[in-house]
Amino acid sequence: MPRSSSAPIFVHSGWRCSSTYVWHRFRAVPTVTAYYEPWHEQLAGLTPERIERERPATSGLRHPNEGLPYLSEFAGLLRPDGGVHGFETRLALDEYFLTADQEDPGQAAYVETLIAAARREGRTPLLACCRTLGRICWLRRRFGGTHIVLIRDPVQQWRSFYSLRKRPRPTYFELCQYVILSEAAGGEAAARRLGLQAGKGDLADRIHATRKRLKRAPARMSFAAFLAVYVLSYVAALPRADLVIDVDRLGGDPEYARTMATAIEVLTGVKLDFADCRTPPPHAGRLPVDYRKEAVAMIEALDLSEVLTAPGPIQTLYRKLLRALPERETVTPWRRLLAFWRGKRLSVAEA
């Protein structure tokens, strides 16, 4: 049965993972208040003028363009001196991996502010963000609701980061991966492998310092950091999701798109239409990155081989990795290594 229309909906994803498209489809429903990136650090200083400036047409991010500013839903929640009521810059990336039992009264009050504002208008609150995969368990425990997780081919997702570079400067998306990994509980070994150290100061200072230090880092390092955050994020998120949407299929398989829309309607009572979704073409050209080698090394550093190959929701991540990182051999080193980690021999037939 559909949930009450007042129950919040959360859409969790990484950057460049079609979350803007999915948010856009929810926003088109008159009974939904769809908040865009409600953990983005720019909300700390948001003004009416900035709301007006921030539009898909001027972003350069290849987002769907409906004419409205991204952040219109926050207009009624601004403080007189600027910024969204209750939002603090630290919420953007600090404690990116937030466990269910951690206490954060400030963050809880902020999320409740958004939910309450939508409910006062008799609408369903929808919070779609690229910074919540690691805190899904915390959000579920405090706010209930429906939690939708988006997942994309990791190589193509990172290639989307890389395609937006202004050489030699890495993208904001790449820099965030370095910051998250350098501070992530459970990611220490991966951070050491890349020589990352937690920064000091506020988020802007840490991003600036990271850009200065790593603006000429090789592509393989950028991918390795991304892959570590990708795996850690989905290990945290997939077991807590009510629905997982493979965005690589959403735009290329009409039947799958209809199935996902039906699942959302059953879970939330909100009827969406994904008929206009189109999967972008793969990024062309070769980059100096051995994706398989970097992925295997990171999974080994994170000691996640048993987690990835165990039955259950994490199999979605495991299959995504296998499809994104194919081998040319019949019995692949990738599969052989994972089989070794699991303590069994892998036959040619099994591969």
Binning pLDDT at 50, 70 and 90, where does residue 349 land?
A: very low
How many other β-carbons are positioned within 10 Å of the β-carbon of residue 104? 17
pLDDT averaged over every residue in the chain: 90
pLDDT surpassing 70 at residue 329: no
Residue 128 pairs in a beta bridge with: 11, 36
Q: What is the pLDDT of residues 314-327, one digit of tens each?
A: 999 999 999 999 76
- Residue 339: the pLDDT is 58
Terminal-to-terminal C-alpha distance of the chain: 41
pLDDT in tens, 198-252: 999 999 999 999 999 999 999 999 999 999 999 999 999 999 999 999 999 999 9
Which residues of 69-193 form beta strands (DSSP E)? Answer: 124-129, 146-151
Q: What is the model's pLDDT at position 65? A: 59
36 pLDDT exceeds 80?
yes
| Nearest Cα to Cα of residue 135 among 282, 237, 249 | 237
Pairs from 210-214 (Cβ < 8 Å, separation ≥ 24) = 210/175, 210/178, 210/179, 210/182, 211/169, 211/170, 211/175, 214/170, 214/175, 214/178
The pLDDT of residue 56 is 77
pLDDT band of residue 345 (cuts 50, 70, 90) is very low
Cα separation, 275 vs 273, in Å, equals: 6
- Tens of pLDDT along 117-155? 999 999 999 999 999 999 999 999 999 999 999 999 999
Share of the chain above pLDDT 70, in %: 88
